[in-house]
Structure 1
Amino acid sequence: MTRLEAIRLAAQERATVMVEQLRTLVAHESPPESPEELTACADLLDRWGTAVLGRPARRVMLDGLPHLLWAADDQAVLLLGHYDTVWPAGTHAEWPFALTGDRATGPGVCDMKAGIVQMLTALELVGDTSRVGLLLTCDEETGSPASRPLIEDQAARSGAVLVGEPSTENGELKVARKGGSVYRITVHGRAAHAGVEPHRGVNASVEAALHVLAVRDFAADGTSVTPTLFTSGTMTNVVPERAEFCVDVRAWTRQELDRVDGLIRGLTPRLPGASLSFGGGINRYPLQTAVSGQLLELAQLAGKEMGLAPVDGVSAPGASDANFTGSLGVPTLCGLGGVGGGSHARDEWVDVARMPERAALLAGLVELILNPPQRN
């Protein structure tokens, strides 16, 4: 029996424990920007991760929130994930973890608490973790505003980054991800009585509406430009002096994000007396196959040697922290977490029957990175 075959068998023996860990982790709610709940969840993960790696975590406090880092001195591989979810505190009470056959449901079960359980299991299965780092952040769902420098710092000192975000529902890994931008555009007008002398005002709602319609034309094949939030005005009888709208942009290439960024920042007022100000910008450049291709090949080799079903790579429209690490040119592979779907929705689910094999695949990939196969 080969080393990788032994890893697969050992992972399968942990199937029941993995489900119970997932149940416990989902019950530890970790809503965005909630220090009390995030700290309690971090305490749990700190115990689990330290027991597996045999070295203490460094708790990195950023904006009052706890991020967990188990760094390696000579970091050949970084496992990267996040334990925050999109679900507010109290969600688990009304929608608790449930298991029907092999299908587990509950807040954050797929995005990405199953991935965390699989990463910890994979670390148990790897022979030597002295060159493997683990970073679990808690602000990914809000755009990683505080943890981004930490992520980039750890990626820069790593030979490869493996991200425990969910795979597709069919189990494909994610070799490319769209980059994204978010803009908040504020329109400044002038208030006036809407019924008596509207002509004295500068209607910020009208000005904003003109730009909301205009930015849609910045979209191109594969690039989406979507107006989202819109707020304006104070009372029904007042010409609005202020309006604000947000724009979500997604694109497959850095050049496209830069193109749209220039167009949005180039918007000019349409109504006399109106002015515009801009907030936000490019958040994540795309993850591209140039930095993921070799790791996909190693994952496919690991799966083949373990006797697993062939694993493919796909492009995913959503962004993740893999975009940060891949943009640095560090080899990065995403989608190594749970096989499931419905992320951010009430039908979120994960296939627990596949958790052991995915943990084994991740462990096998780490082994091949640490001990590269000889090329003929």
Structure 2
Amino acid sequence: MERLTGHERAAVEHVAGAPMREQVQAWCAINSGTRNIAGVTAMGATLAGAFSALPGDIAMVEPSPVEAVESDGRIVAIEHGCHLHLTVRPDAPVQMLFTGHMDTVYGVDHPFQSMTIRPDGAINAPGAADMKGGLALMLAALRAVEASPVAQRIGYEVVINSDEETGSFASAALLTRAARGKVAALTYEPALADGTLAGARGGTGNFALVVTGRSAHAGRNPHEGRNAIVAAADLALRLSRAGREGLSVNPARIEGGGPNNVVPNHAVLRVNFRPRDAAAIAEAQAALDTAIRDVAAAHDVRIDAHGSFNRPPKPIDAGAERLFALVRDVGADLGLPIAWQFSGGVCDGNNIAACGVPVIDTMGARGGAIHSCEEFLIPESLPERAALSALTILRIAERGRP
């Protein structure tokens, strides 16, 4: 702490007094599963009230249209909640982006709905680490920045989307617009329990492959049918063989079929790809195209592909290296060891990095067991990580870059 300037010490003291734990507990009590539109709307309104403590213009932005493939192959529109967008000092010389998400993976019918305090003091609650804790400490950090004499040098946008847990399809365009012209971005996904950050990330692609065959009687004339289930199974096997180190392929589900005495004329195969780099995306797309073509010909069926590689891989480039080095140095001045490692998970950091903006996407609270009933947040990490963010932002404001 000896190396901190006077206004940096003031920022650390400012975040120490922020009501982050109380906010986390109140926000976790609001079910904001992505598909719970009423809950997401309530969460958005609560966050808008909290973030209105910051200067600038705040708005709830309508989601972009999103479609999905139903189990019967129909293409339907999917409803999403609005996204929170805050713009502060757009004419300031240094511009940054801060992002988070208000949605969780816990729907209204999920068994995990309440908060408990573990014997070790950790908060076990839906969305505590992922990422209502991150949202609370983001706000605390920005309020500390606003109280600093350096504040006028920096402008920023805050995007808190409603659909990160399902791929950010309804907010991708907003994130891209907000990333323009930014020298750096911080995203508030949780760090690991020991504080380790995510460094490089792989990408992801999700596809629904709709197979249309021909019905026939299973006993009298099966040869006249074209079995969509068999074709989908063949497709799944061929795609699974495309996996390798750096490209995992997961055929996750086959839907379709009907009575035992009818050759099924419809199936939907859902498959997930996890490419580690751009070359793996090209390889995955080629494998997908080849498998569709060959299976369609072999089984005399039609196959329609829906989906995309919506999260590109996030490498550590020169800009990201500088940003990580800055956060490491800030951590050292705060007595916090900062390390990072590759992650196979994906988040909005992938999309931001694809815009050419250096990003660290695990600036949130320390915690673990996310996406499970054991999800937990370590409460003492709230002020420590808020201080880490505040000082990182202040130093970027003073330098003009990471």
TM-score normalized by structure 2?
0.87
The number of equivalent residue pairs is 370
For residue 343 of structure 1, what is the aligned residue in structure 2?
Answer: 370
CA distance, structure 2, for counterparts of residue 143 and residue 38 of structure 1: 16
Pick one of 74, 79, 82 that aligns with 2:101: 82
Could you tell me which amino acid in structure 1 is paired with residue 392 of structure 2?
L
Amino acid at match of 1:133: E
Is 1:132 aligned to residue 159 of structure 2? Answer: no
- Name the aligned partner's letter for residue 60 of structure 1: V
Offset from partner CA, 1:145-195 (integer Å, 9 cap, x none)? 111010011001322111101112221122211111111112221111112
Q: Closer, same or farther in 2 for the Cα pair 1:138/1:241, shift >3 Å?
A: same
Match of 2:48 in 1: 46
Matched residue, 1:59:
60
Structure 2 Cα separation of the partners of residues 109 and 270 of structure 1: 50
**Helix, strand or coil at the partner of 2:34:** coil
CA distance in 2, matches of 1:180, 1:334: 16
CA offset at residue 237 of structure 1? 1.3
Q: Distance in 1 between matches of 2:356 and 2:24?
A: 33
The code of the aligned residue for 1:13 comes to G
Q: Deviations over 1:258-293 (max 9, x none)?
A: 210121022222534222221112111111110421
Contact 2:202 2:276 in 1 (8 A): yes
Query: Given residue 82 of structure 2, which amino acid in structure 1 is its aligned partner?
Result: P
- The alignment partner of 1:24 has SS state of helix
1:102-113 matches, cutoff 5 A = 102-113=121-132
State the SS of the aligned residue for 2:195: coil
- The answer on whether the counterparts of 1:175 and 1:293 sit within 8 Å (CA) in structure 2 is no
SS in 1 for 2:44: helix
Among 11, 17, 20, the alignment partner of 2:15 is 11
SS in 2 for 1:131: strand
Output aligned runs, 1:271-310, within 5 Å.
Answer: 271-290=298-317, 291-306=319-334, 308-310=335-337
In structure 1, distance between residues paired with 2:106 and 2:99: 21
2:31 and 2:113 in contact (8 A); partners too: no
Letter in 1 for 2:102: Y
Question: In 1, are the aligned partners of 2:327 and 2:392 still within 8 Å (CA)?
Answer: yes
AA aligned to 1:104 is: I
- Paired letter, 2:236: V
The aligned amino acid for 1:30 is: S
Counterpart Cα distance in 2 of 1:174 and 1:4: 25
The aligned residue for residue 97 of structure 1 is: 115
Cα contact 1:80–1:162 (8 A) shared by 2:
yes
Show the counterpart of 1:36.
Answer: 38
Shift in Å at residue 337 of structure 1? 0.6
Q: What one-letter code is carried by the residue in structure 2 that aligns with 1:135?
A: V
1:363 aligns with 2:364: no
Partner of 2:340: 313
120, 125, 139: which one pairs with 1:120?
A: 139
| Residues 29-38 or 206-215, more deviating | 29-38
Q: Is the 8 A contact 1:341 1:349 kept in 2?
A: yes
User: For the Cα contact (< 8 Å) 1:91–1:107, is it kept in 2?
Assistant: no
Structure 2 unaligned regions, length at least 5:
66-79
Question: Once the two structures are aligned, what percentage of the paired residues are identical?
Answer: 29
Residues 125-274 of structure 1 aligned to structure 2 (within 5 Å): 125-126=144-145, 127=148, 128=151, 131-267=155-291, 268=294, 269-274=296-301
- Runs of 4+ in structure 1 deviating by more than 4 angstroms, as ranges, are none
Post-superposition shift, 1:218?
1.0
Task: Kindly state the Cα deviation for residue 91 of structure 1 after the two structures are TM-superposed.
Answer: 4.6
Q: Is the 8 A contact 2:87 2:158 kept in 1?
A: yes
The CA distance in 1 between the partners of 2:116 and 2:323, in whole Å, is 34
Aligned-pair CA distance for 1:55: 2.9
RMSD of aligned C-alpha atoms?
A: 1.9
TM-score by length of 1: 0.93
The answer to whether the Cα contact below 8 Å between 1:7 and 1:363 also exists between their aligned partners in 2 is: yes
Deviation at 1:305, TM superposition (A): 2.0
Q: 1:300 is paired with a residue of what secondary structure?
A: helix
Instruction: Decide whether aligned partners of structure 1 residues 286 and 99 sit closer, same or farther in structure 2, where only a CA change above 3 A counts.
Output: same
Task: State whether residues 246 and 277 of structure 2, in contact with CA within 8 Å, keep that contact through their aligned partners in structure 1.
Answer: no
- 2:310, 2:379 → 1: CA distance? 33
- Whether the aligned pair in 2 keeps the contact of 1:202 and 1:271 (CA below 8 Å) is no
1:120-145 Cα shifts (integer Å, max 9, x gaps): 11112112275122111101111111
Please give the secondary structure, in 2, of the residue aligned with 1:323: helix
**In terms of mean alpha carbon deviation, does 273-282 or 327-336 score higher?**
273-282
Unaligned segments of structure 1, at least 5 residues: none
Contact 1:303 1:364 in 2 (8 A): no
Deviations 1:338-372 (A, max 9, x none): 11111111111110111110010011111111112
